[in-house]
Amino acid sequence: MFIKAEGLSKKYGGVSALSGVSFSLERGEVLGLFGLNGSGKSTLLDILALAARPDEGKICFDGAEVLYKTAQARRRIGYVPQEIALFEELTVRENLLCWSRLPGKKAKERADETAEKLNLTDFYKKKVSALSGGMKRRVNLAVALLGQPELLVLDEPFAGVDADNTDWIETKLREMADGGVAQIVSGHSPDQIMPLIDSILVLSRGESVWYGSKETFLAEAEGVGVNRKMQGIIRGEAL
Amino acid sequence: MRFLVFDLKRIFSGKTLVLLCLLSPIIVVFIFSTVISPMLYTAGGLRFNLAICDEDGSEGVQEFISQMLNSQALKDLVTSYPVKTEEDGVAMLESGDISVFVHVPAGLFESMRTGEAVKVDIISTKAHALEANLTSMTLKSSLEIVGKSQNVMEAARLLLIDKGVDEAQADEYLTESTNDAITRYMSRRETLGDGGPISPVGEYLPVEYYISAIFSIFAALAMLPLIHFSAADSSGAILRRGLLCGIGTGGFFAARIVSGAIFVLLVLTMLFPTSLLLKLADTVLGGSYANNFAALAVSLVLSALCFSALALTVAVWLPNENTALWTGFFLVIGMAAFCGALIPEGALPKWASLIGRWLPIRSTMRLLSVSLFDFDRQIFLQDALKALGFSALLLLLGWLGLNRRGSGA
């Protein structure tokens, strides 16, 4: 087991944002995380990306608890936030260099390599502010890949992305999964990320209301439809 | 270090913004000196009555007063009334007949001759603080120069006596040469006003006041772009990404403080040529500015650090970018008003002036003023310590706020 999360809970000012969420993930596995706005998806992703500390529960990487060795563990994680976390005033290349953990020459080599991998070379010297929304998403993803992560945490990576870029990003993520990179991808619409994922975790009001493989979910959704089934789970309706 | 370089590149990426920051204070100083101030002077809005009680009565002081009232600074502004006693002057002031009362004590001329400290009282009401300031500045700088000339003349008189010249003749020489020096100095003051570098239209202006005030206000206004950057970064995914990319809160904090301070320094940079011009005025044109480059450099660094830390503090403690920006703007206006940067401190109510003493603009204004115009080690150290204290407090608050934003990570 590559990642194991047990009983993760988090409160903000007395309000429970996440309550006792558990799941596990193998290398190369892609977990789809679903839920309405405010269901706790972003809180869970922040905790998994080690950008926030849970009030209760633990996360283990390869069987070892990581919460108190965050600096080391963070090197193994690539985080793609929902917002475009880039410096608009800098070029694509400068952004890749700015966020790199590597020293001088190595950072440049890795930035070039990542840009090539994500077909960013044509826009390499353009300022991020001059790029389209879809292209910014690509650069956002590229920054997360700079550290060659073992776990990729993606918060709604397809929000506001056109169909071409969605397909392109999906293909890249699938290639990375095939290469052994575990991924946790959040989204609103199951249709959009269903082709990418292997397992599903559904959150409602901070609690895990459905967790299992994609196959089980699809079997349960047969005759009802994937979207309707998902809405039913989220709303607690029996379908 | 790499993050700092890119942070600087970001902040300086807006060429128009940088140009505006660099030139705005100069433009405002220029507009103030060429349009606003002459308007005040020539429109008669500043014309005022002044009473003088000359208890000294010596020829030298009479000559000095006459020259001062006919100087470029005051000749079109002042109508003077001689009064016999101090009580008469105060009574005129209380009845509103005059705006400023100048009291010259007995023995002033003799004290100047012997190199003793002299004191001339300038009495006014809060409503006439600007007129009192103008009179005070003219009188102070004139007295300083005349005092220095007096000392030289006195030394010359003693030398003449030593060489065997008759004491009466030496005294006559002293009186004549002193009067001549006063006349020459006051005339040169006019020349400086007409063709000098500070006031292109030829008016003598209280430059000490408005140059330090304008530059301090612009340094404070430079906080606004810094607040924009810091608020946007610390409330969004940027800070989170930074933490995950190993930059950490410490790296983020250090980069933002250093790049912010460099940005504010840019606004203040033009004070160096200003200081050079004043130095030129001092040595070539006969001005009386005792500026100090080392002190100016320290003042600029302290001011920049203070405003950079304040910008970060505002950005990280307020809930979002818009609130932080508006708060920053009103904070600058409020500080400028309470610290006497918008209106002279003497015209402020006492409570406002007291609040102003505990706001950073006041320290930075005084630091700039002291190091540019009238360097005084004690005042400089006092305000430098105050600015350092403000900076330390704001750095701590900024650090705590940033940690709060990145809490849990």
- Residue A97, chain B, CB below 8 Å: the answer is yes
Q: What are phi and psi of A56, to 5 degrees?
A: -140, 160
- Write the residue in A50, A77, A85 that is nearest to B236 by C-beta: A85
Q: What is the nearest CA distance from B229 to chain A, expressed in angstroms?
A: 10
Nearest residue to B341 (alpha-carbon basis) of B322, B327, B361: B361
Q: What is the pTM of this model?
A: 0.67
A26-54+155-239: CATH number: 3.40.50.300
C-alpha to C-alpha distance for B394 and B407, rounded to whole angstroms: 19
Tell me if B244 and A83 make a contact (CB, 8 A cut-off): no
Q: Are A204 and A16 in contact (CB under 8 A)?
A: no
C-alpha to C-alpha distance for B379 and B402, rounded to whole angstroms: 34
Nearest residue to B60 (alpha-carbon basis) of B167, B180, B170, B155: B180
- The full set of domain ranges for chain A reads 26-54+155-239, 83-149
C-alpha to C-alpha distance for B383 and A224, rounded to whole angstroms: 75
Cα angle for residues B239, B242, B247 (degrees, 5° grid): 125
Tell me if B408 and A53 make a contact (CB, 8 A cut-off): yes
Most A CBs within 10 A among B239, B244, B256, hence the mutation to make, goes to: B244
Q: Which two structure tokens, joined as six digits, stand for B134?
A: 């103008």
C-alpha to C-alpha distance for B354 and B306, rounded to whole angstroms: 20
Average pLDDT over residues A146-161: 83
Strand partners, A61: A3, A64
- Write the residue in B10, B13, B241 that is nearest to A79 by C-beta: B241
ipTM: 0.72
Residue showing tokens 């600074």: B73
pLDDT in tens, chain B (409 residues): 778 888 888 888 877 877 877 777 777 766 666 555 555 555 555 567 888 888 888 877 777 777 777 766 666 677 888 888 888 888 888 887 888 888 888 888 777 767 677 778 888 776 666 677 667 767 776 676 667 777 777 788 888 888 888 888 888 887 777 777 666 655 544 433 333 333 333 333 455 666 777 888 888 888 888 898 888 888 777 777 777 777 777 888 888 899 999 988 888 887 777 666 666 655 544 445 566 778 888 988 999 999 999 999 999 898 888 899 999 999 988 888 888 777 766 667 788 888 888 888 888 888 887 887 777 788 889 889 999 999 999 999 999 988 887 664 4
C-alpha to C-alpha distance for B242 and B63, rounded to whole angstroms: 71
Tell me if A79 and B244 make a contact (CB, 8 A cut-off): yes
Q: Could you report the per-residue pLDDT of A82-93, keeping only the tens digit for each? A: 888 888 888 888
Least confident of A1-5, A162-166, A171-175, B161-165: A162-166
Residue B46: what residue type? Answer: L
Nearest residue to B180 (alpha-carbon basis) of B188, B168, B170: B188
- In chain B, what are the helix, strand and coil shares in percent, each to the nearest 5? 75, 5, 20
Tell me if A83 and B236 make a contact (CB, 8 A cut-off): yes
pLDDT, position B130? 64
Give Cβ neighbours of residue B371 (< 8 Å, ≥ 6 apart): B275, B291, B292, B295, B296, B298, B299, B380
Q: What is the nearest CA distance from A174 to chain B, expressed in angstroms?
A: 23
pLDDT, position B311? 93
> Using a CB-CB distance cutoff of 8 angstroms, which residues of chain A are in contact with residue B263?
none
Tell me if B245 and A147 make a contact (CB, 8 A cut-off): yes
SS3 A125: coil
